[in-house]
Amino acid sequence: MTSRYEQAGVSIDAGLKAVSLMKEAINKTHDSNVLNGVGAFGGLFSLGDKLKNITQPTLIASTDGVGTKVILAAALNQYNTIGHDIVNHCLNDMLCAGENIQPLFFLDYVASSKLRPRMIAETVTGMAEACQASGLALLGGETAEMPGVYQPTEFDVVGTIVGLIDQKAIYPRPTMQVGDLLLGLPSSGPHTNGYSLIRHIFRYTPLHAEYEEIGLLGEALLAPHRAYLPELTALKSAGVVVQAIAHITGGGLVENVPRALYDFDDLTVRIDRKSWPTPPLFELIQHKGKVDNMEMLRVFNCGIGMVIIIPANQAELALTTVDDGRIIGQVIQGKEIEWV
């Protein structure tokens, strides 16, 4: 016997099953700041001790998706990494705002035309794992069955992150100047950008195709977005001064590095394109898609997922602290980004 509501395409039981599967992973992200079991209509997060030593408490918040990388996950029937993608994408964006940011919590939305418990549970479990790794509480979320809205096997994932920062610690530091260096940290793949173009380029290539340089195409493309919190924490512990940070997302280095300098109208950057090797996956994308160099740099991170701007005298300390970082350019006078 099914209710009329189920006949209309909404299965309440499937949703409940998924919720129970992921509950354990979510609970691991909760500490005493999460007022669990209190308040039934929203997540409650006590600021309590978080406000200590902050003179101008400011919340930072960002909502985002992972783009059409969800299509690859659906095609491969692998969802856990998408959970890591959405959390780490939001986290890295947030970390660009300033010094000593305290990650507070994350909320998620997962929707599909038909709820499949394993899909929801894997996605949310991946989110919970990524939240736990970065000290974020997975505070709440919504799982929506939307018959008729999504393509049959597709789904979408949306995340919102909230953190706390002292207003006086917002980047860029006023000491930013010509000669500061760009410390580039490697990406783990295209992260969450450029997937519509990637899918277009590989539209006739099966995801299980194997390439010598990258292994299985599908797996290489699904590599989860790396979180840069450990590197930033290490740099801070080592005493490295950070002037500003750019998370390299849609728009690539071309658009995102200048965003980090927004307060300085007369400063731009010179980037040495030969200072880091292009990872094989990006070479394959460029070759197969006949994409020109500049569009590669506008659409993809091309191997650099985060750029940290540091004073020139900090380079040695920074490079010994973050062993896979490299100097990829410098701050210069001017308006337009320069490529050498």
User: Closest CB to a second copy among 7 and 237?
Assistant: 7
Distance of closest approach, residue 316 Cβ to a second copy, in angstroms: 28
Provide the Cα torsion 142, 147, 148, 152; round to 10°: 90
107: phi then psi, degrees, rounded to nearest 5: -125, 145
Distance of closest approach, residue 245 Cβ to a second copy, in angstroms: 8
Which residues, 6+ apart, have CB-to-CB distance to 16 below 8 Å? none
Distance of closest approach, residue 15 Cβ to a second copy, in angstroms: 10
Distance of closest approach, residue 165 Cβ to a second copy, in angstroms: 8
Distance of closest approach, residue 312 Cβ to a second copy, in angstroms: 24
User: Closest CB to a second copy among 171 and 180?
Assistant: 171
User: Closest CB to a second copy among 24 and 49?
Assistant: 49
Q: How far is CA 182 from CA 271, 307, 312, 340, in A?
A: 8, 6, 9, 14
Q: How is the beta sheet containing 338-339 ordered, strand by strand?
A: 244-247, 304-310, 181-186, 326-333, 267-271, 338-339
User: Closest CB to a second copy among 144 and 317?
Assistant: 144
DSSP state of 205: S
Distance of closest approach, residue 320 Cβ to a second copy, in angstroms: 27
Buried/exposed 26-56: b ≥16 CB within 10 Å, e otherwise: beebbeebbeeeeeeeebebeeeeeeeebee
User: Closest CB to a second copy among 4 and 274?
Assistant: 4
User: Closest CB to a second copy among 40 and 340?
Assistant: 40
User: Closest CB to a second copy among 43 and 126?
Assistant: 43
The span from the CA of 209 to the CA of 202, in Å, is 10
Candidates 303, 309, 299, 305; CA nearest to 283 is: 303
Other beta carbons less than 10 A from residue 275's beta carbon = 14
Buried/exposed 190-225: b ≥16 CB within 10 Å, e otherwise: bbbbbbebbbebbeeeebeeeeeebeebbbbbbbbb
Distance of closest approach, residue 17 Cβ to a second copy, in angstroms: 17
User: Closest CB to a second copy among 2 and 239?
Assistant: 2
Is residue 232 helix, strand or coil? helix
